[in-house]
């Protein structure tokens, strides 16, 4: 069946591309996807697919009415980036861009909807289509959609999602069993001291020196406290303080991110960062306040479901295009669905075959090879059918 799916999607390629370009031209930021949602709902209505609005700009649709349920998810939001891709359907909304391919994810799920709708009468169950807002912004649209009941009435047995990957060639499907992406927490430090003349440091409390000590010392959380067989990253990404060469300032502000591959280690690391930051500052007479903005949990793919996705990929794109994807310390709010039920998320190659290195995700020059769109649509429809066939 999946082989036919790809042929059918390829026959409809110009329509998939037209949908993708419409969304690309009109990017909207997280939780503001009003026109994008209206576009999705119009397409679903034209396909005769019933849907309901959820979480403001989210949409959930169902194909089939009885039996076990399988869910497919696409994210729909864009990024605050000024587009420099040079495509002739570039963003019309200055300062906003679909630089993470969510326009492609949405158009592929719409095409999967069309393919599945054509088979609705033979479906042995229900397929739930989730068009989710706000992937790019904490607390993540997925967590809000779940709170508002997207996984109820009916509750799916499994969920699948995909992400475009400009590092892989068009037609390649990259799979990863187990932990695939990391948790991400944002860290905001304020180191407080006492300002004064730079020539008389003994009369001040130097927050710059304290901040520097905190930055270097905290790497021991990763190197000395993380089990070498677990993974963690702590990056301090911003440091702001001071204004003159001869003045010790009274505070320094820093930002950073913690990434972890398992929940227990993540909690330990956050506690340790909190404790050490305070103690180091205190040992120098300074103070340190750390605010932690908790982000997404690690994304863990179900083993059996990922095997099923690999079997589907072999039927859709062939053995040679079915690849392994190595885990990354990126984050993805699909992780919230994966905490609720067996889930599998794969990467879809979108780099043109004649290009050696394409601009990465979140790059202002990011673009995709649109030949990948029918492949992703066939994969989504294919895994849903394969999983339902097991029920």
Is the CB of 215 or the CB of 331 nearer to Ni ion? 331
- Rounded CA separation 180/199 (Å): 51
Residues facing residue 132 across a β-bridge: 75
Angle at 236 between CA 230 and CA 238, to 5 degrees: 155
- Rounded CA separation 193/83 (Å): 42
CB of 163 to Ni ion, least distance (A): 6
Stretch that binds Ni ion, among 5-13, 97-105, 151-159, 251-259 (CB under 5 A): 97-105
Residue 100 engages Ni ion in binding (rule: CB under 5 A): yes
Residues facing residue 51 across a β-bridge: 61
Stretch that binds Ni ion, among 92-100, 221-229, 351-359, 375-383 (CB under 5 A): 92-100
Is the CB of 100 or the CB of 305 nearer to Ni ion? 100
Q: What is the 3-state secondary structure (H, E, C) of 112-130?
A: HHHHHHCCHHHCCCEEEEE
CB of 364 to Ni ion, least distance (A): 15
- Rounded CA separation 180/280 (Å): 34
Is the CB of 75 or the CB of 250 nearer to Ni ion? 75
Residue 11 class from Cβ within 10 Å (0-12 exposed, 13-18 middle, 19+ buried)? exposed
HSE-up of residue 72 (Cα within 13 Å, Cβ side): 32
Number of residues that bind Ni ion (CB under 5 A): 1
Is the CB of 55 or the CB of 100 nearer to Ni ion? 100
CB of 362 to Ni ion, least distance (A): 8
CB of 290 to Ni ion, least distance (A): 28
Stretch that binds Ni ion, among 8-16, 44-52, 98-106, 309-317 (CB under 5 A): 98-106
Is the CB of 47 or the CB of 138 nearer to Ni ion? 138
CB of 159 to Ni ion, least distance (A): 17
Give the residues lining the site for Ni ion (CB under 5 A): 100
């Amino acid at each position: 069946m999946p082989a036919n799916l790809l042929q059918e999607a390829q026959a409809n390629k110009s329509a998939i591309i037209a949908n993708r370009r419409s969304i690309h031209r009109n990017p909207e930021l997280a939780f503001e996807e009003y026109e994008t949602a209206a576009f999705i709902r119009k397409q679903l209505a034209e396909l005769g697919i019933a849907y309901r609005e959820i979480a403001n700009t989210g949409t959930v649709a169902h194909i089939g009415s009885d039996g076990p349920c399988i869910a497919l998810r696409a994210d729909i939001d864009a990024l605050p980036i000024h587009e420099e891709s040079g495509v002739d359907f570039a963003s019309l909304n200055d300062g906003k861009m679909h630089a993470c391919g969510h326009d492609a994810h949405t158009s592929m799920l719409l095409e999967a909807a069309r393919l599945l709708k054509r088979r609705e009468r033979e479906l042995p169950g229900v397929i739930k289509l989730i068009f989710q807002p706000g992937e790019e912004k904490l607390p993540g649209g997925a967590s809000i959609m779940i709170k508002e009941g997207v996984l109820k009435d009916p509750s799916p047995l499994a969920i699948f999602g995909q992400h475009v990957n400009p590092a892989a060639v068009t037609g390649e499907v990259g799979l990863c069993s187990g932990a695939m992406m990391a948790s991400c927490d944002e860290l905001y430090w304020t180191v407080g001291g006492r300002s004064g003349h730079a020539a008389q440091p003994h009369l001040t409390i130097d927050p710059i020196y304290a901040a520097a000590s905190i930055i270097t010392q905290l790497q021991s959380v990763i190197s000395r406290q993380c089990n070498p067989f677990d993974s963690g990253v702590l990056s301090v990404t911003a440091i702001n303080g001071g204004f003159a060469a001869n003045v010790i300032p009274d505070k320094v502000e820093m930002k950073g991110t913690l990434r972890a591959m398992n929940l227990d280690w993540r909690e330990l690391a956050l506690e340790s960062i909190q404790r050490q930051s305070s103690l180091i500052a205190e040992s120098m007479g300074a103070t340190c306040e750390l605010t932690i903005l908790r982000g997404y949990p690690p994304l863990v793919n179900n083993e059996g479901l990922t095997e099923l996705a690999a079997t589907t990929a072999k039927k859709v794109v062939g053995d040679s295009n079915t690849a392994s994807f190595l885990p990354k310390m990126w984050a993805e709010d699909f992780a919230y669905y994966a905490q609720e039920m067996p889930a599998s998320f794969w990467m879809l190659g979108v780099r043109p075959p004649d290009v050696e290195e394409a601009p990465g995700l979140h790059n202002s020059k990011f673009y995709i090879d649109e030949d990948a769109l029918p492949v992703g649509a066939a994969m989504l429809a294919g895994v849903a059918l394969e999983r339902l066939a097991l029920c």
